[in-house]
Structure 1
Amino acid sequence: MRVLIHLFAILTSLTGALCKHTEPHDLVTPQVVHTFPNGTSLENLAIRASGEILCTVLSAPEIYQLDPIENSSAKLVHSFPGYTSVLGIVEMQPDQFYVVAGNVTFATFSSVQGSWSAFHVNMSEFDINGAATVTKVTDFPDALLLDGLGVLSREQGLVYVADIYAGVVSILNVNTGDHYVAINNSLTVAGPPNFTSAGVNGVHVFEEPNGTLYLYFSNTAQSLLARIPINANGTPAGEPEVVVSGIKVDDFTFDSDGNILQAVLGSNEVAKINVTTKKVTIIAGNPSSTELMSVTSAQFGRLCDDEDTLYVTMNGANFSDIALVVPGALKMLKLGPRLV
C-alpha cells in the first residue's frame, strides 16, 4: 500500500502479471536520487515549486528534502515527537504543506486508533535558516490509519484525507481543523480479492474538460482504481465506478493529458493508465526485480528541465515475510514527451 499490511503475507499473487489489460512497452530505467539507510521505508512525496522534493517516512516520524538530481543528499526537514510515522503530504499554497502523522507498528503494520493528527509544514524559511515551522492543525480521534491526501480546494483550504483501515475519505479544512467523512461506499472499503484491511489509499481530484469534477482513488485490498463524481464541496454527485482492476495499487498522479501514473506496489511497477480506454501500460519496474521494490507514490517534477520526469518513492519491503528487502529510496523516471 502506501502502507504495508501484514496480511499481505498470504497473498501469493503479488508477483504475478499486472493484469490482462497491460500493454507491452520499452521500460524506463529508474535512476537513483537517494537511497536511505537500511530499515528506512518511504511513503509519499511532494515537490516544491523550486524543484526540491519532500519525502515522508513510514518507518520514522520524519520528512526529508532532496534535490531533483542523481545521488542527492537528504536534509531532515522535521521529526515529529510522539509519533512513529508520517504518511500523506500535500501542498495547499506555495511552500505550505500539510501531512498526517500517527503511530504504526512497522513489524505488523498495526495502527493505534486515535493517534492520528494533521500538521502544517511551512517551508518558506527553510532555504534561509534550514528549519521548517510546524504546527498541529487538528487531531483525528476516531481515525484508524490515515494515509493519502488530495487537494479539494486551495481557496477554501479543503483537503481529502483517506483512512485506509476505516475505508472512508474525509474532508479536512486546514484553516479551521474541522473534518468530517464525505466519501464512504463499496469501492472505498477493504474487500476481495485480497485479504487485507487496506481499503481506499491514494486520493486525487481531477476536473474534466467539461467541468465535471471527479475524485479518483485507489483501493489496495480490492486491487482497483476508481472514481466518483463530486460536487464543488467535495460530497458525492453520483455513483462510484471502477476505472481499472486487477492491480495492487498505492498512490498516483496525473499527466498533462489526464492519464494516470500509478504506483503498483504489488508488482514493483509503475503503470500509465488511459482513463478513457482503460488500457494499462507498464513503463518501469518488474515483479522479479527490486529496482522499484514496493513503489508507493509518484509525482512529476515542476522545473522546466524535469517536467517530464516522474519521481517515485519506494518502501523496499517484501510482503512475503514483512521485511525490508532493500532500503527505501527516491528514484526518478525520465519519461520524455513520448510517454507523458
Structure 2
Amino acid sequence: MTEVATLEPLLPSQVLHQFPAPSWIENLAVRSNGQILVTFCSAPEVYLVDPSDPSKTVLIHKFVNVTAMSGIVEVDHDKFYVAGGVCDLKTMTSEAGSYRLWEIDMSTFDTNGEATVKEALKLDKIGCPNGLELLSRSEKIILAADCEHGALFKIDITNGTHETALQVDEMRNPENPFIPVAINGVKVLKEYLYWTNTSKALFCRAKIVENGKSFGDVEVIHQGFIGDDFCFDSNDNAFVTQNPFNTITVAKSTGGLVTVAGRIDQLDVAGATACQFDRRKGREHMLYVVTNGGLAGPVNGTEVEGGKVLVIDTTAFKTG
C-alpha cells in the first residue's frame, strides 16, 4: 500500500451549485465553452450547470424507462453520449440488460434552449457502464467500464455494436466485495488505458495496441488505493475522486499519492464521484468536481447533504 501525503494547505474550493438532498451526481462532461453537463445516479436526469452563472442551472433531459444515469463523454463537438439503466443505489446493482446509450446534441441548445436527444443503442451485454471514455473520435468508438462484470467494453456508435475489449483480474470484483463496484473510472492517455478498481483498491494501466484491438500487460500503479473516477492534468497527474473518503487525491506522474482537497470527516467534497478540468484557455487549472453528498458513506456516520458541483483551483499544486 502506498503512503498518502496531504497537501498543506489544501486547495481552495467553491460550490457552484448544490442540488436538494438526496441527490447522487455520478459523472460530468465539460463543454468547450466551459458549461458542465452532470448525470445523476439518483434520478434519470442530465443537468447543465454554467460556472459563469450557476443560477441558470437547467434540466437538459429526463429519460424514461430507466432510473439512473452513469457515464458521459463527448464524441463530436457538442455531441455527448450518456448511459442510463435501472439501478438500485442501496445494493449498487443494476437490472440485467437495462442500460442504453443516448446521444445529446447540445448545438441546438445554444440556438433554441433545447438539446436534441435520441437513443443510440442498447447496451444489453453490459451490467453497468460506469465510466465512459473516447477511444477514437474519427471512428466514433467509446470505451465503457462495466463495474458489475469487471470488464472493459468497446462501443462502436457507427455500427451500433458493443463487445468485450478486455477482461483481466485487475478489473474484476473480488469474492464477496464490500462494495460491488470493480473497474470504475477509465481514461486514455498517451496510448495507455488507465482505470480504477474500487472493490480491489487498484489504480492500473495497460498499453493500447492497434487502437484497442488488444492491450499490453497490466501495470498496477497503486495498490490499496480506493478511487472512483479521475482525470489528468497537463502534467499527466491523475486527480482521483475518493468517494467514500470525501477527498481528492493525486496520483502523481512522478510517483506517490497526495490528498489535495477534502477530509474524511468534512462535507467539503463529501462523496466525490468524478472530476474534469475546464477546457477554456487560461482556465485549464480549474477542476470541476461532482459529489453524492455522502450518500455512499455519511460523513461522521450521519451527515449527508445534496450532491453538488464545485470548482477547485489547482494552481498551488506542485508535483514535487
Does TM, normalized by the shorter one, top 0.5? Answer: yes
TM-score, normalised to structure 1, is 0.88
Deviations 1:150-204 (A, max 9, x none): 1111111111011100000100011221111001001000127952321000111
**Scaled by the length of structure 2, what TM-score is found?**
0.93
Query: Residue 91 in 1 paired to residue 74 in 2?
Result: yes
Count of paired positions: 317
Deviations 1:227-247 (A, max 9, x none): 011113213332111111222
One-letter amino acid of the structure 1 residue matched with residue 18 of structure 2: T
Q: Give the Cα separation in 2 of the matches to 1:331 and 1:237.
A: 35
2:234 match: 256
Where does residue 316 of structure 1 map in the other structure?
A: 293
How many angstroms does 1:69 deviate by?
Answer: 3.9
Q: Quote the residue 1:4 is aligned against.
A: none
- Which of 264, 281, 296 lines up with 1:304 in the alignment? 281
Residue type matched to 2:66 in 1?
Answer: Y
Larger displacement relative to structure 2 (114-123 or 267-276):
267-276
Runs of 4+ in 1 over 6 A off after TM superposition: 321-324
Judge which range, 303-312 or 36-45, deviates more. 303-312
Which structure 2 residues correspond to residues 71-110 of structure 1 after superposition, within 5 A?
71-110=54-93
CA contact (8 A) 1:34 1:70 kept: no
CA displacement at 1:337 relative to structure 2:
6.2
Please give the alpha-carbon distance, in whole angstroms, between the structure 2 residues aligned to 1:35 and 1:307.
Answer: 23
Distance of aligned partners of 1:286 and 1:19 in 2 relative to their CA distance in 1, 3 Å threshold: farther
The separation in 2 between residues aligned to 1:274 and 1:117, in whole angstroms, is 35
In 1, the alpha carbon distance for the partners of 2:198 and 2:78 equals 30
In the alignment, is residue 167 of structure 1 matched against residue 150 of structure 2?
A: yes
CA RMSD of aligned residues (A): 2.1
Select 1:270's aligned residue among 248, 251, 265. Answer: 248
2:257 is matched with: 280
**8 Å Cα contact 2:49-2:57 kept in structure 1:** yes
User: Paired residue for 2:9?
Assistant: 26
Residues 1-340 of structure 1 mapped to structure 2, 5 A cutoff:
20-69=3-52, 71-191=54-174, 194-207=177-190, 213-277=191-255, 279-320=256-297, 325-336=304-315, 338-339=317-318
User: Do the aligned partners of 1:39 and 1:324 also contact (CA within 8 Å) in 2?
Assistant: no
- Letter matched to residue 325 of structure 1: V
Q: Measure how far apart 1:323 and its partner are.
A: 8.4
Query: CA distance change for structure 1 residues 193 and 27 in 2, over 3 Å: closer, same or farther?
Result: farther
**Cα–Cα, structure 1 residues 161 and 64, in superposed 2: closer, same or farther, change >3 Å?**
same
The Cα of 1:275 is off from its aligned counterpart by 3.1
Instruction: Give deviations 1:59-108, integer Å, cap 9, x for gaps.
Output: 01111001124754311111111111111000111101001000112333
Q: Retained in 2: the 8 A contact 1:193–1:223? A: no
Read off the aligned partner of 1:200 and give its amino acid letter.
Answer: I
Larger RCO (CA within 8 A; separation ≥ 6): 1
Contact between 1:32 and 1:70, CA under 8 Å: does it hold in 2? no
C-alpha contact (below 8 Å) 2:273/2:289 kept by paired residues: yes
Aligned partners of 1:197, 1:338: CA distance in 2, in Å?
33
| Contact in 2 for aligned 1:32/1:71 (Cα 8 Å) | no
Contact 2:69 2:83 in 1 (8 A): yes
**Deviation of the 1:334 alpha carbon:** 1.0
* Conserved 8 A contact 1:100-1:117: yes
Partner of 1:9: none
The CA distance in 2 between the partners of 1:25 and 1:31, in whole Å, is 18
Give the conservation status (yes or no) of the 8 Å contact 1:199–1:222.
Answer: yes
Check the 8 A contact 1:153/1:159 in 2, yes or no: yes
Asked if the contact 1:243–1:275 (Cα under 8 Å) also holds between the matched residues in 2, the reply is: no
Q: What is the identity, as a one-letter code, of the residue corresponding to 2:310?
A: K
Distance 1:53 1:75 in 2: 11
Distance 1:306 1:53, change over 3 A: same
TM-superposed deviation, 1:338 = 4.5
For residues 223 and 68 of structure 1, the distance between their equivalents in structure 2, rounded to whole angstroms, comes to: 33
The runs of 5 or more residues in structure 2 that have no matched partner are none
